[in-house]
Amino acid sequence: MPRMSARTAVLVAIALLAPWSAAAQSPPACDRACLTGILSGYVAGLAAKDPSKVSVADTVRITEDTKPIALGEGLWKTITALRPYRLDFIDVREGTAATFAVAEDAGKPALVAVRLKVVNRRITEIESMVVRSREEGVLFQPDNLQTPNAGMTYVPTPAERNPREDLVRIASLYPAGLRAGSFLNPDVPMSDDAYRFENGMKMAGPGCVFQPPSCQNMKAQKIPRLPGLTYRVVTVDEEMGTVLLWQNFGPGALPGAANASNTFVTFEAFKVYGGKIHAAEAILETLPIGAPSGWDK
């Protein structure tokens, strides 16, 4: 067997070591625990009013209530505390983490929704919504949000879980129902005890006192017809069976001539398992009709 020259031996060694070297230089994939940790770091930094605690990319892009801001502006300047309530949505495949929280803003409660995009373990996008009053959100009961509802924290069994594409399809039937003005046609699959909370207020489901008796059955509840509604998928948490949508309801969302120029914009989470929607919880605010989201393609 011919002997390998010294030069050839070096080349072979380099070829064998190259993949290991590349792997050592690339950060490991950010799994569920990693994304949750980055989200917790962001929340901790916000509570401390210390942006230096947040690991962001040099090109990070940030909006609050659809308007571009710099890290440290907006709620960062006025927050005084964070209450214990926190509901997370983790999308490992897309590297996205989101949360609902309740803050103390200049000593008064505020509802907060945040979406983080993570690449190479650094935050590249921060999208947030802050609802500070009934005037901003129409509905506003932050004191009702002490701990996450059991309906949203329930972990579906493996037999109950739906594939990612089915989670998105089922959740997307909800805005389709709003466009049609009915959850019955199209037939939006909902459990008999399905409920909906908006800004801390129970707006549908057993025990609902908003426009009873219609609201006590979420699927049969009277809803406005909103043909101009648009939405996008924010996160799909396959383990927890939650799909978070961003929705702009378009014209006709708010009653009365005084509200004709405004609409609802919402981060709304849907609990989906066993092929049905079991719960919906939203943080929403009013914005002028046609206002850009800050993330329009």
**Residue 106 sits in a domain of what CATH number?**
3.10.450.50
In this predicted structure, which of 172-181, 194-203, 211-220 has the lowest mean pLDDT?
A: 211-220
Answer whether residue 213 shows pLDDT above 90: no
Q: Are 264 and 249 in contact (CB under 8 A)?
A: yes
Answer whether residue 21 shows pLDDT above 80: no
Asked if residue 251 and residue 157 are part of one domain, the reply reads yes
Structure tokens at 22: 């590349």
Reduced to 3 states (helix: H, G, I; strand: E, B; else coil), residue 294 is coil
Buried b (16+ CB within 10 A) or exposed e, 70-90: eeeebbbebbeebbebbbbbb
Answer with the one of 101, 132, 163 that is the final residue of a domain.
Answer: 132
Asked if residue 272 and residue 190 are part of one domain, the reply reads yes
- Order of strands across the sheet that contains 108-119: 67-68, 56-64, 122-131, 108-119, 96-105, 79-91
* pLDDT of res. 25: 53
Helix (H) or strand (E) holding 47: helix 32-47
Asked if residue 194 and residue 102 are part of one domain, the reply reads no
The model's pTM? 0.89
Task: Note the pLDDT tens digit of each residue in 65-76.
Answer: 999 999 999 999
Residue 178: phi and psi, rounded to 5, are -65, -40
CA distance 252 to 264: 9
Residue 36 forms part of a structural domain:
yes
Asked if residue 267 and residue 161 are part of one domain, the reply reads yes
Q: Are 116 and 95 in contact (CB under 8 A)?
A: no
Task: Note the pLDDT tens digit of each residue in 115-163.
Answer: 999 999 999 999 999 999 999 999 999 999 999 999 999 999 999 999 9
Domain count, the chain: 2
Q: Are 89 and 98 in contact (CB under 8 A)?
A: yes
* pLDDT of res. 210: 85
CA distance 128 to 139: 18
Reduced to 3 states (helix: H, G, I; strand: E, B; else coil), residue 160 is coil
Percent of the residues in the chain that have a pLDDT greater than 70, as a whole number: 90
The dihedral through the CA atoms of 287, 290, 294, 297 has a sign that is positive
201-204 and 190-198 strand pairing = antiparallel
* pLDDT of res. 263: 95
Range of the domain at 163: 150-288
Residue 8 forms part of a structural domain:
no
Burial class (CB in 10 A: 0-12, 13-18, 19+), 223: middle
